[in-house]
Structure 1
């Protein structure tokens, strides 16, 4: 879904994928002159960011969907696209999200998206690429790790594609570079995937609880937030909901 959607509309990478659009700025400023520079950037900056943010977000989105918790889904979604919280970025992200949902419905007409769209409208979220990707894979009963791996593989592919467009190195080096960097990213994910989802969720609630961009629902008192965070580690949460949600 990710590759197809992005190839149909290159403006769609809302949320996490927007981070590697900074490659063009690095290229203009003289920090990206070779594939070696790209590898250093990905290993030192991009890998830690995409694993701790996007990877853990997808993992916790699975839990939120299982709990039918629209507020938490929206909270995680907003965390993903407010990394660059300018009004212009948010406006562009909303437009991209609308196109993404339209493409997604065309690709998966048999899946149910009404609840996701209602949640996004209710809590004024947008539906980032990671959120929609997770929703689809959850309904398709895809394993969490497979969902994350697919997201990472596509992210690496488009990052390398962008770099090749800027640097114009020998084309035959591209596939081997994508394979190597994807493997490295998955290794980084395995190392960073030790914290339980509950620790990520406590950090998320602490960081965003008082922010004005999302309204806290009445039932989320401070004590209930702590209870919800503790409950995320329960294996009972991993029982699937019906595909129709």
Structure 2
């Protein structure tokens, strides 16, 4: 799924990023001249975003899906998108999200996407790659860490592939570099991955609960914002999802 998404749209949101990761600007400014420059940039900027933002978001998405909480899932998706996307690109990003779900349906025609689509539409969310990737892996019965590891490996590959096109990196240098960088990023994730999903969700909700970029359920109040579960609008998801571990 993640590899096919590379062919879908070069501006496809990947977590809180677009596919460019700012690499083209670095290249134009002379700050990306070799793969070692990419290492420094990823360590300084992207590792934290990939782990503290995308990785923890996937962790919280697992909890939201297990709780059948469509509103919270949409909020996390909106948070991922708005971290780096400007308002004028909102419509384009939603179209990319729709194309992504269409691709997911073609790759996994036996999976149920209705609940995901309904939640994204109801709360005007986008459908980022991290959200759709999490939904698919949950329905396939893959555990959370496996899902996150696959996602992190993919974003490293995305970065290196894009940088290699700019730098004309030889093939024999590229793959070993991807392996080393992926291993390093997974180590960063392991070090970060201490808080429970609830801790990340609690901070997320208090930071974003009054934001105008997502519709709030009519029964959502300041008092109940961190404790009450908002179920998916359509019933019966639990009949189709695997039991929570």
Distance 1:84 1:17 in 2: 6
Measured after TM superposition, the shift of residue 20 of structure 1 is 4.5
TM-score of the superposed pair, with normalisation by structure 2: 0.90
Contact 1:12 1:99 in 2 (8 A): no
Residue 17 of structure 1 deviates from its aligned partner by 4.3
Distance 1:9 1:226 in 2: 36
For structure 1, which segment, 129-138 or 76-85, has the greater mean C-alpha deviation from structure 2 after superposition?
76-85
Maintained 8 Å contact 1:6/1:13:
no
Structure 1 residues 208-241: Cα deviation after superposition (integer angstroms, max 9, x where no partner): 1111011222333233223259xxxxxxxxxx94
Structure 2 counterpart SS, 1:218: coil
5+ residue gaps in structure 1? 230-239
| 8 Å contact kept, 1:15–1:93 | no
The 4+ residue runs of structure 1 with deviation greater than 4 A are none
- Unaligned stretches of 5+ residues in structure 2: 230-236
CA contact under 8 A between 2:13 and 2:19: conserved in structure 1? no
How far off its partner does 1:6 sit? 1.9
Q: CA deviation at 1:168?
A: 1.3
Secondary structure of 1:42 counterpart: helix
Distance 1:8 1:216 in 2: 31
Corresponding residue number in structure 2 for 1:224: 224
Deviation digits for residues 111-159 of structure 1 (CA, Å, limit 9, x no counterpart): 0001111111100101110000000000001000000000011100010
User: Measured at CA, do residues 154 and 85 of structure 1 come closer, stay the same or move farther in structure 2, by a change above 3 Å?
Assistant: closer
Give a deviation string over 1:38-78, Cα, whole Å, max 9, x none. 00111121101110000000000000011111110000000
Distance 1:200 1:151 in 2: 19
Partner residue in 1 for 2:159: 159
Alpha-carbon displacement from aligned partner over 1:61-103 (angstroms, at most 9, x marks no partner): 0000111111100000000111234233212211111110111
Match of 2:32 in 1: 32
Match for residue 243 of structure 1?
Answer: 240
Is the contact between residue 94 and residue 126 of structure 1 (CA under 8 Å) also seen in structure 2?
Answer: yes
